[in-house]
């Protein structure tokens, strides 16, 4: 039997804003097994934080039910809170408290003994590489150091399950990569289940074992990143021609879609198909002047599901796929 860390059925949250209902989360079912690292992905306003806030008992659902770390969120919210760690979007900046003292205060908050708290704080300071700043005021830390402190605070009472709401937002690429190294290492060494939200497709793709995509309050995809990408039917190939007329003629031959003088095609082994297409098209008098090939991304998955690009934060129409930027010179 699998050990479920989170199960939710029909989870729904409707807010009222200026007298109108806002359906932030609609009938969400989800399950996370113990030890999994799951990324919750979606554009601004998709309902990710609201879902997290319901699962962490910060917000009561309008309807639906969930069990988190073995406790019912409605019947035993205190039990849920004891067993989980939660790091929200707000940062820990502005505190004059020193890093080590902040961790000690958190231990007292959880009712941990002094000796246990000190030992645990020292352990986390070391594993999250906060040793050099442990005596500094929180307000003097860099963005990456603050996020690592937030995570240490969330882990102090050794929760079985850690929720992180956009842990890497606002960090520079180096700090993001560093933070992720710590998250992955923590998971590896402690087996803590991690459920996090992110806007970054590359993070979810590379590092999460499972990706849940949310849009307009619903979970619209839930699988491993490779499986989600495989469902798209293959690689993206773009071919550029001298004219739109050539592109239109070529599109019908290769089964692609013309957009101006560029044709985009989806094919299982696009890299192998590309030289054949170039040859065939040349024989038909259609010269390919540039070509690109790339593997599908999670953004392609989102685009296929919603007609919008997540990279553009929902702003780009379906036609403006990354391919349409035009291929590089062959």
Ligand X SMILES: Nc1ncnc2c1ncn2[C@@H]1O[C@H](COP(=O)(O)OP(=O)(O)OP(=O)(O)O)[C@@H](O)[C@H]1O
Residues found near ligand X in the complex (CB under 6 A):
15, 17, 22, 24, 42, 44-50
Minimal distance, residue 309 CB to ligand X, in Å: 15
CA atoms of 290 and 256, how far apart (whole Å): 16
Identify whether the C-beta of residue 61 lies closer than 8 Å to the C-beta of residue 251: no
CA atoms of 192 and 80, how far apart (whole Å): 15
Identify whether the C-beta of residue 10 lies closer than 8 Å to the C-beta of residue 63: yes
Minimal distance, residue 212 CB to ligand X, in Å: 12
Looking at the Cβ atoms of 15 and 109, the one nearer to ligand X is 15
Looking at the Cβ atoms of 17 and 78, the one nearer to ligand X is 17
Minimal distance, residue 182 CB to ligand X, in Å: 22
Minimal distance, residue 285 CB to ligand X, in Å: 50
Angle at 240 between CA 237 and CA 245, to 5 degrees: 120
Structure tokens at 224: 């491993």
Looking at the Cβ atoms of 201 and 238, the one nearer to ligand X is 201
Looking at the Cβ atoms of 44 and 189, the one nearer to ligand X is 44
For residue 244, the number of C-alpha atoms closer than 13 Å in the C-beta half-sphere is 2
Looking at the Cβ atoms of 86 and 241, the one nearer to ligand X is 86
Minimal distance, residue 40 CB to ligand X, in Å: 8
Looking at the Cβ atoms of 42 and 144, the one nearer to ligand X is 42
Length of the chain measured in residues: 330
CA atoms of 330 and 326, how far apart (whole Å): 12
Furthest CA-CA distance within the chain: 80
Minimal distance, residue 226 CB to ligand X, in Å: 24
Task: Map tokens 């939710």 to a residue.
Answer: 8
Identify whether the C-beta of residue 207 lies closer than 8 Å to the C-beta of residue 239: no
Looking at the Cβ atoms of 102 and 165, the one nearer to ligand X is 165
Structure tokens at 181: 């190294």
Minimal distance, residue 17 CB to ligand X, in Å: 4
Identify whether the C-beta of residue 254 lies closer than 8 Å to the C-beta of residue 319: no
């Amino acid at each position: 039997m699998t050990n479920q860390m989170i199960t939710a059925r029909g989870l729904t949250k409707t807010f009222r804003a200026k007298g109108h209902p806002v359906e932030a989360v609609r009938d969400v079912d989800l399950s996370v097994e113990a030890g999994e690292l799951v990324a919750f992905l979606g554009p601004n306003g998709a309902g990710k934080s609201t879902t997290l806030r319901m699962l962490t008992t910060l917000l009561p659902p309008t309807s639906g039910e969930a069990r988190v770390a073995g406790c019912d969120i409605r019947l035993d919210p205190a039990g849920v809170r004891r067993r989980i760690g939660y790091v929200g979007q707000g940062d820990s900046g502005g505190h004059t408290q020193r890093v080590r003292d902040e961790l000690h205060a958190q231990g007292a908050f959880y009712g941990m003994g002094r000796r246990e708290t000190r030992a645990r704080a020292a352990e986390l300071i070391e594993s999250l590489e906060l040793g050099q700043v442990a005596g500094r005021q929180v307000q003097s830390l860099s963005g990456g150091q603050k996020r690592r402190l937030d995570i240490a605070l969330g882990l102090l009472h050794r929760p079985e399950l850690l929720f992180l709401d956009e842990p890497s937002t606002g960090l520079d690429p180096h700090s993001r990569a560093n933070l992720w190294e710590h998250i992955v290492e923590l998971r590896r060494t402690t087996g803590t289940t991690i459920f996090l939200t992110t806007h970054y497709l590359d993070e979810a793709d590379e590092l999460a074992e499972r990706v849940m995509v949310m849009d307009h309050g619903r979970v619209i995809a839930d699988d491993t990143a490779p499986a989600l990408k495989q469902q798209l039917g293959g690689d993206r190939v773009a071919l550029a021609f001298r004219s739109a007329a050539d592109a239109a003629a070529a599109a019908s031959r290769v089964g692609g879609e013309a957009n101006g003088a560029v044709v985009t095609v989806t094919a299982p082994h696009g890299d192998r198909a590309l030289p054949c297409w170039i040859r065939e098209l040349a024989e038909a008098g259609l010269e390919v002047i540039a070509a690109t090939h790339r593997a599908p991304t999670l953004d392609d998955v989102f685009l296929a599901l919603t007609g919008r690009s997540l990279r553009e934060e929902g702003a780009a129409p379906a036609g403006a796929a990354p391919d349409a930027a035009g291929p590089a010179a062959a």
